[in-house]
Structure 1
Amino acid sequence: MKIKTLTKTDILGYIFLIIAFAIGFYYAYTNLNYFDTAYAVEDGFVENSQFVMLLCSSILLFYYFFNFFKHKNAYWKLGILVMAIAFLFASGEEISWGQRIFNIQSSEYFIKNNAQHETNLHNMVVDGEKVNKIIFSQLLTIVLVIYILILPILYRKVAFIKKIANLFAVPIVKWHHTIAFLIATGFIVFVHSEKKWELYELAFAVIFFLIFLNPLNKKEIFSANS
């Protein structure tokens, strides 16, 4: 991978992740308590950074939606709108919809059925299992493997897949995005803390913003003439 294939935004994004991971590794191996209770804690640096990046992705997708609205068909609009709403939802869930910020008390239902007694869905408990583990971990892992590893190959090799992806405005990752995900995954394995997934989610949030900003098929899906 040549450096010239990276945009300035890509470089800044990866530098930010390198610094965030380096700090996380330092505290994970020198002061695990600080890592768990300060660095990767709820409303800490890592989680707030996740929120910002997820929200930025949503804003960027809504920008595409409204900027190219009159030039695109219903399939494109549906694809962009679904992604924009999904990332808006993810950003809201990350901070429990501002509940802790505004000191809002959870309803009795969420107190009884939410693992953290907060107003969000990803920490809900169903039959003793957290929704976060069932959907946001297991299912999301499968989706990520398909999107990050398999779809880029199929897009380049199969004309039908390329047509469908462009039709629904699915941003295709570049290989440096894939490599970044794999490196982050490899590093996370060596962090021995339950809070390490907050750091992994930060990588997810930053890399997806970079994908939406400059995907492989940017000319095909994010231009008025496509």
Structure 2
Amino acid sequence: MRNLSPVDQFLFGLMNASLLFTLVYWILGFDTQFATGFAIEDGPVEYGTAVMLFVSALVLAWHSARQCRKGQALAGLCLSIYALIFVFGTGEEISWGQRILGLETPASLREVNFQEEITLHNIVVGGKQLTKTVFGSGLTVAILLYLLALPALYGRSRLVTRIADRLAWPVPSWRHGIMGIVASVVMLVVEIPRQWEVYEFVFSLLTTSIFLAPANTATFGRPDAA
């Protein structure tokens, strides 16, 4: 087994520490301290998630530029789209800078937004929050499929390998899948306010690790540093 790079040691260290802190707060019954301290709104976990999502976007944009220089237009376009998705995620995580800039929520948005803020994922449609439908369990399943199914099939299924290479999907390594399982188990076991903020933070750290050194390094044209 290859040793983790210094960057991965740092990223995985943050993941492990975040999950451990969550477990300790839960075991000790410090629900209020967790919700108003470690995982507080606009606190270290939430802003950490936003920062790492933006770093993920920058890494994807860097890969996109490299692919374009190599003449791989489709791969470059796909990676640009992925980068924009992560920029969107960054904006949503901090309510597009609303509280930082002191912006007021438009009346029309306040009426349909569960938290009365400038975000799309908290909008209520037909009595259902998008957080719990589009951004909820369905997204969790998609993430786990990406972390577990893609590494299992890449290199073994010709079709999956061709699609992944063609569309420039950064393929996770097994360490990412294992961490995804561990984080999911912790979230299922723990019942503490704002615990999912930690799950989002772990996900943002995972994507940064994956994008910096994807398992399909040949596709991205860089040496395996992980």
TM-score, scaled to structure 2: 0.92
| 1:8 partner amino acid | P
2:8 aligned residue: 10
Q: Secondary structure at the match of 2:132?
A: helix
Map residues 47-62 of structure 1 onto 2, 5 A cutoff.
47-62=46-61
1:5 Cα deviation after fit: 4.1
Name the CA distance, whole Å, in 1 between partners of 2:114 and 2:26.
24
For the pair 1:208 / 2:169, whether they are aligned, the reply is no
1:123 aligned residue: 122
Name the CA distance, whole Å, in 1 between partners of 2:26 and 2:115.
23
Q: How many residues align?
A: 222
- 8 Å CA contact 1:64–1:222 kept in 2: the answer is no
Gaps of 5+ in 1: none
2:19 aligned residue: 21
Which stretch of the first structure deviates more once superposed, 66-75 or 7-16? 66-75
Map residues 99-118 of structure 1 onto 2, 5 A cutoff.
99-118=98-117
Per-residue displacement from partner, 1:141-194 (whole Å, max 9, x unpaired)?
231132112121221211221111111110111111101111111122222124
| 1:149 partner amino acid | L
Name the CA distance, whole Å, in 2 between partners of 1:145 and 1:16.
20
| 2:87 partner amino acid | L
Q: CA RMSD of the aligned region, Å? A: 1.6
1:184 aligned residue: 183
| 2:43 partner amino acid | G
TM-score, scaled to structure 1: 0.92
Name the CA distance, whole Å, in 2 between partners of 1:196 and 1:37.
12
| 2:26 partner amino acid | A
Q: Could you tell me the percent identity over the aligned residues?
A: 31
Name the CA distance, whole Å, in 2 between partners of 1:207 and 1:42.
22
| 1:35 partner amino acid | F
